[in-house]
Structure 1
Amino acid sequence: MKRHLYVVSMLAVSILLLTSCAMGGGGGGGESSGMTYKDMKSMVIDILKTEDAQKALQESMSTQSGYTAQSSSMLNVQDQEQIRLAVKDVLLSPEYDKVLKSLMTDPKFAGEFSKAVNELNKDIHVELIKDPQYQEGLVEAFQSEDLNKVILKVIKGSEYRKELMSLMQDSLNNPIFRMQMFELMRKAIAEELAVKPQEQSGGSGEEKQQSSNESNSSDKESSSGESEKTS
């Protein structure tokens, strides 16, 4: 407020100086008339647009108000409480519901807002996950029959399936995801091919053992038959 008053006073002093100069010039010339309001206004605007005038005003405002960039960023406890209550009233008031919705539909505002609260929400979730009571509450919530019914209803819905198919298509169109999938398939095929030769070698060994056992049993039968004939 003080800064605004100081700017107004500076403008008033400038206008008075210009008026006095114009009147003095008009009196000395005799026939020349004084400056009109339009000319005076244009001159004041031109002066204020110059870099020197803007720097002078900024230095004067900072000196008169006693604020610097560091001190202006510092808020006392009372100011913080007032800001907190004001934000709370705005967020909870039905009158500002439409305004907030329109703001959140703005991509630029939504992006900046999400960046600002993302880190805070992340820290809150990390702390909640470590809380035993919060963990028990999550377990009870997921074990609830009502919640399971809602989840099943959502999964069986056509909208969910469309979103899931769209997500899968986007993932398959991603080159990194495709490369990872091909790598997993290659490893799975290599492991399957490595298992089959072992099974075949194990099967051939069993067949050889079985054939050797059969040959031994046949030899024993033939030898026993010959011994019976000789007797």
Structure 2
Amino acid sequence: MMKKKILSQIFLLMLLISLFFSGCNAVKSPSSSPNYKEMKQMVIDILQTDEGKKAIKEAASGTSVGGNKKLALGDEEVKKIIQNEFLSNDNIMKLKEMYNDPTFTSQLGKALKKENEGLMKDLMKDPEYRKMLLETMNDPEYQKMILELLKSNTYRKQMMMVIKESLESPLFQEDLLKLMKKANEEALKPKKEGQKDQGEGGPKDKQEGSK
């Protein structure tokens, strides 16, 4: 079931991107086919429509669009789709260009957000996936890549933007004030108790000294 859900999402994404590639390849002909930007906008518009979101949801649940037929993709079918649509140099370059576009990746992420959250929850319950995830995280090459990413200017700028937006959020400010108030109260407690102990101990020490 898990495998079918993953493959169905891959198939849908490949279908959308293959349509995008087909439109881009058509630009090479002298006809009045849409250019790269127009095709990209078309894909974004599709992802934003109710029909597009419904298609993604049905694909993630394993049903065909508008019906109850279960999607059943075999490994060979997936390999064939990848070979036909993604392994050519021209399509790989277009794929890189498309995924480097913040607008497109943002809209794609929003459209797949709910489905991806559900998929990740299911994956985290899978012992085999957790084992693979831990192995990947312990891989020296992966750790090196993460460190390089954390050191990059792009990542730092993004983090600064996230921090700035968080600080400007009224909800975050309210939570921050509550935490600061609680921390202040906790910090004052030991001082009060210490002063109390000193106050109680003072007279006793004097009495013992007089004896």
What TM-score, normalized to structure 1?
A: 0.47
Q: Using a 3 Å threshold, how does the CA distance of structure 1 residues 105 and 147 change in structure 2: closer, same or farther?
A: closer
Give aligned pairs, total.
141
**Superposed CA offset, 1:95-143 (max 9, x none):** 55538955995958963x5454333322221111011122122222222
Greater share of helix: 1
Of 175, 182, 204, which residue of structure 2 is paired with 1:180? 175
Of 135, 146, 151, which residue of structure 2 is paired with 1:151? 146
Q: Using a 3 Å threshold, how does the CA distance of structure 1 residues 118 and 150 change in structure 2: closer, same or farther?
A: same
Residue in 2 aligned with 1:122? 117
Of 131, 134, 147, which residue of structure 1 is paired with 2:126? 131
- Cα distance between partner residues in 2 of 1:105 and 1:151: 22
Cα RMSD over matched residues?
A: 3.9
After superposition, residues 14-163 of structure 1 pair within 5 angstroms as 73-74=66-67, 88=81, 91-92=85-86, 94=88, 96=91, 98=94, 107=103, 111=107, 113-163=108-158
Q: Using a 3 Å threshold, how does the CA distance of structure 1 residues 101 and 145 change in structure 2: closer, same or farther?
A: closer
**Superposed CA offset, 1:36-93 (max 9, x none):** xxxxxxxxxxxxxxxxxxxxxxxxxxxxxxxxxxxx944878x988xx87x9367536
Task: State the SS of the aligned residue for 1:160.
Answer: helix
Q: How far apart are 1:188 and its partner, in Å? A: 1.3
- Is structure 2 residue 207 aligned with structure 1 residue 202? no
Which structure 2 residue ranges, 5 or more long, are not aligned? 1-64
- Cα distance between partner residues in 2 of 1:157 and 1:106: 18
Higher Cα radius of gyration: 1
- Structure number with the bigger relative contact order (C-alpha 8 A, sep ≥ 6) is 2
- Is structure 2 residue 160 aligned with structure 1 residue 165? yes
What TM-score, normalized to structure 2?
A: 0.50
Which structure 1 residue ranges, 5 or more long, are not aligned? 1-71, 217-231
Q: How far apart are 1:210 and its partner, in Å? A: 2.6
- Cα distance between partner residues in 2 of 1:140 and 1:193: 45
